[in-house]
Homo-oligomer: A and B are copies of this chain.
Amino acid sequence: MTPEREQRLLQVLRRRQPDLTLIADKVHKPRNMAALVRNCDAVGIPKMHVVKPDHEYRRYRGTSRGSDRWVESVVHSTLTEAVDAVRAQGMKIYAAHLSDTAVDFHDVDYTVPCAILMGAEKAGISEEAAQAADLHITVPMMGMVESLNVSTAAGIILIEAQRQRKLAGLYELDRMPAEVIARHMFESRYQ
């Protein structure tokens, strides 16, 4: 790693948002997982939560563009486990879910500690996941098709979270634990 890139990594790590995360609930296509990780990196999420699909689970492949090196994934066997993990960190849970009670994703406060919960390609958000959430949020649709691709929907919501957090100055706070930064900087030399 060049000194310039090392500087860049340090700067990126200092902007990381430990109180923002994403939960992927049984998303099973590797390319969607890869795109989700890439979205997380782009808005400064240091750690995401992955609930394993029932059948297959291959690690992402394709187009994460190396972002899985920079975003940690915690794999859970059940949704409850993932929910408990983010609740333990005091996070609200916003489920991206086209339910009757869902609100427009623009009208939500993402500057509070929060987890964005994304559903699977076909099944969407499970009944259990819908209930576990504090709020259902929706990206408005004006066409014939009723949903977006999961990673597109996540990107749209996360970039709104980024916009709000930038306005609130949350990218200037240098909130990552020093030892996490040190570990990343160390590893970057040997990978």
Measuring CB to CB, which residues of chain A are less than 8 angstroms from any residue of chain B? 8-9, 12, 15, 31, 35, 38-44, 63-67, 69-71, 106, 121, 139-149, 151-153, 155-156, 159, 162-163, 166, 171
- A143 and B39 CA atoms in complex are apart in Å by 9
Q: What would 9 more interface pairs be, CB under 8 Å, given A15-B142, A153-B155?
A: A12-B142, A39-B148, A42-B143, A43-B143, A66-B144, A66-B145, A71-B143, A140-B162, A149-B151
Which B residue sits closest to A147, measured CB to CB?
Answer: B65
Which B residue sits closest to A166, measured CB to CB?
Answer: B140
Which B residue sits closest to A17, measured CB to CB?
Answer: B142
CB atoms of B63 and A149 under 8 A apart: yes
- A66 and B144 CA atoms in complex are apart in Å by 9
CB atoms of B41 and A144 under 8 A apart: yes
